[in-house]
């Protein structure tokens, strides 16, 4: 592993190392959209039109996130007590 990407040597324990996040955090998202409409027109008389319209929109969203496990070194654990 690249030493810049190791959380042990980042500034402090309160911020995530962006290089570690880039290499180890993953997510997968899925969007499904359903759009539909229906229009009916009826002319009972020559001068009259009856119109009915119905529309629908639906969305299904699912996501999964995961990351690799990381064990902090003794150096990092001891250093965190000093802060």
> Per residue in 24-56, pLDDT tens?
889 999 999 999 999 999 999 999 999 999 999
> How far apart (Å, rounded) are the C-alpha atoms in residues 31 and 16?
28
Mean pLDDT, the chain, whole residue set: 83
With cut-offs at 50, 70 and 90, classify the pLDDT of residue 15: confident
User: What's the average model confidence in pLDDT over 51-74?
Assistant: 90
The predicted pLDDT at position 23 comes to 81
> How far apart (Å, rounded) are the C-alpha atoms in residues 20 and 13?
13
Q: Where do the structural domains in the chain lie, given as residue ranges? A: 3-82
User: DSSP secondary-structure letter at 13?
Assistant: T
Share of the chain above pLDDT 70, in %: 72
The predicted pLDDT at position 46 comes to 92
């Amino acid at each position: 592993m690249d030493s810049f990407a190791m959380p042990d040597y980042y500034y402090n324990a309160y911020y995530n190392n962006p290089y570690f996040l880039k290499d180890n955090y993953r997510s997968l998202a899925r969007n499904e959209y359903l759009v539909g409409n229906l229009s009916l027109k009826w002319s009972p008389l020559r001068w009259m039109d009856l119109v009915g319209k119905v529309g629908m929109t639906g969305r299904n969203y699912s996501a999964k996130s995961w990351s690799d496990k990381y064990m902090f070194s003794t150096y990092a654990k001891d250093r965190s007590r000093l802060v």
